[in-house]
Amino acid sequence: MKKRKQAAGRLTDLELEIMNVIWELGETTISEVNQILGETSKKHAYTTTATMMKILEKKKFLKSKKKERAHKYTPSVTKDIYEGNAINHIVDNVFEGASAKLVMKLLDDTKLNREELIEIRKTLESRIEDE
C-alpha cells in the first residue's frame, strides 16, 4: 500500500492540456490527440502523447478499449467534476476556504463583459432567494 503524495485527481499542465482535448473530442485515439496537440499548442513525439495518456489511464482519468487498429480512449472523469476539484484546490489552498473572496476578485476582473455580469446577477438573485 503505497501512499499517494499528489492529491488524487490533480493534473499537471500537460496532462490537463491532453484532457482538455479529449473532453472536447469524446472517444478518441492517441494519434488524434497527438495531432491536435501539434496543431493547437506544441508538437510532441507520438510516444510522448502515448505515455501521457497511459499515465492518465493509470490515474483513472481515462479508460481505453481495444477497437480496430488503435485503442480508443474515453474520459472517466467529467470535465465538470474536474473543474470542481480544481476550484476546491484553489479555494482551500490559496483563499483559505473563502470562496467569496475568489468571487470578488473575479468580479474585479475586467475581462467580464456586461452580458456576463448580468447573467451572473441573474444566477445570484435566484441563489439568494433560495436561502
Partner DNA sequence: AGACAACTACGAAATCTTTAGTAGCATACT
Partner DNA sequence: AGTATGCTACTAAAGATTTCGTAGTTGTCT
Which residue in the block uniquely carries the three cell numbers 490527440? 33
97 lines the binding site for a copy of itself (CB under 8 A): yes
116 lines the binding site for a copy of itself (CB under 8 A): yes
12 lines the binding site for DNA (CB under 7 A): yes
Q: Which among DNA, a copy of itself, none contacts residue 70 (Cβ within 5 to 8 A by kind)?
A: DNA
Beta bridge partners of 62: 75
20 lines the binding site for DNA (CB under 7 A): no
User: Residues 45-63, buried b or exposed e (16+ Cβ, 10 A)?
Assistant: eeeebbebbebbeebebbe
Q: Which among a copy of itself, DNA, none contacts residue 74 (Cβ within 5 to 8 A by kind)?
A: none
DSSP character for 24? Answer: H
Q: Distance between CA atoms of 100 and 93, rounded to whole angstroms?
A: 14
**Chain residues in the site for DNA (CB under 7 A):** 4-6, 12-15, 29-31, 42, 44-48, 50-52, 54-55, 68-71
